Structure 1
Amino acid sequence: MKSHFMFSKQKRSGIFLLVILIILAQYIYFFLDFSSNEITNVNEDELRLYKSEVDSLRKVALDLKALKIFPFNPNYITDYKGYSLGMSNEEIDRLHQFRATNKWVNSAKDFKNVTKVSDSLLAEISPYFKFPDWVTNPKPKKYNKFYSSSSKPKIVTQKIDLNVATALQLQKVYGIGEGFSKRIIDYRYKYQGFVSTDELSEIWGLTPEVIGRIKAQFVVKTPRKIKTYNLNTATRDQLVTIPHIDYEIANSIIEERILRDGFKNIEDLTKVERFPIRKLQIIRLYLYL
């Protein structure tokens, strides 16, 4: 420590002189005025131009910070989205309560009726509403011009034979288009005609409602010839020739027939193990008692 604080007379004089210079410099800095008294001439036009540029840049910055609204479906407005659009909590709650009933807003008018927003807010945000295409551009429903008259119940003699019906005649039934009419005719061609209108259930895509409408307008007047079998005497090899019956089901039918000492009616087949109950109407076409 002595080596750091032991100074010679010359060093002490130097330190004393340095302290005096520092005090003198501080005195000059605080008590003397170094500012210039010269007045610079300012160009007022350039100053106004500069201020206008600063103002325009400030406006651009504010616009960039402002909320940007992109097209949206008003049915899915969240609390935050509604608040940012300027909606009140009550208006947002009305929309959510309406949607909770599984109903939809399909127009700006519906939105106003549900939320009760002001006209000014609606005018501001409605241009950004985006609804699905099926709402904004609904396709007109195609109704067959013959449907209303041809859908009336008919007696058997008035019905058209399904085995000679044309595609256009089939398409007069509501629910039958070009695709279904082609499938019906292809099935008829493949099996050389229908045995019964119950065979319509074999055509893929036809619903029970559409089949019911077909049966109201068509009937099989010229059924194709098929071989039928007595349910109580048919052999296994004969049963497997019937659609939807394989060897396993045929064996089960024969076992059930033995246990019952013969079937009393065709519906008893539904008690057979693994029997295709849904195909009973087709299978019964090939059986008798």
Structure 2
Amino acid sequence: MKNLKSHFVFARQQRSGIFFLMLLIVLFQLVYFFVDFSSEDNIHPDDTEILAFQEKIDSIRDVRLTKSSRIFPFNPNYISDDKGYTLGMSVEEIDRLLLFRSQGQFVNSAEEFQKVTKVSDSLLAIISPYFKFPEWVNKQNNKAISKKTYDHKEGIRKNSIKKDLNTATAEELQIINGIGAKLSARIVKYRELLGGYSLEDQLYEVYGLEDEVVKNVLNKFKIITQPEIKKLDINTVSIKELSKIPYLSYEEAKKIISYRSKFGRINSINDLTKIQDFPLEKINRIGVYLSID
């Protein structure tokens, strides 16, 4: 028994060592249970930082989208559903334009486009710089109608009662400053060639008639009587008859007939925009002489 007891008797230094060992074990246990060893690097940013970072990402994305969706010049009369959506137009705005166009009418300025579609001022400011109208439309739009009145022969003024351009004689036209016997005869002759003026801006097509003189004419004359034009069915007309329409050459008439033969029929005057190299500026002009049955 004495020998057994001697095994449990420790020297002073041994007891001190055991004490410190036990103390270390207790300390490690306390550290393990009460100290958070998670790294400060893993602390998540607050919501404000996340939103700020997301905004930076969105701004970079918007810049890339803007660059990738560059707008090229286009005629707003031929905006399709997809094109209108790309430009930021609503379904209602696109439908208003398509309805207007289905009636054979054309918009000839940014102001008229907004009046028809009712797009906002902000959207119009973005897309209108890319509007591309035919040359004759640009010529008309770039020359604003003067507000001041003109003293013409026999005291003609802007606010006077206008006469019918389709019934005016050459002599009546000569009361306009800048129009003599030769130009008045050309206006009447061109009217006969067209079968009557359907659009007032057709006066700009009269050879030798200056833009300022045209404005003077329109201050005194306007289209009151619509011309009685016998319209040709575009789906049955022959190439010979088609080529006789003002504004159409034989080659252009031939392209229309070829398109009709290829697809069976033409359902809308706007189908002509699908013909390769067909002059788009002529479509609203020749539409006056064509019908679709």
Query: TM-score surpassing 0.5?
Result: no
Alignment TM-score, normalising by the size of structure 2: 0.37
Alignment TM-score, normalising by the size of structure 1: 0.37
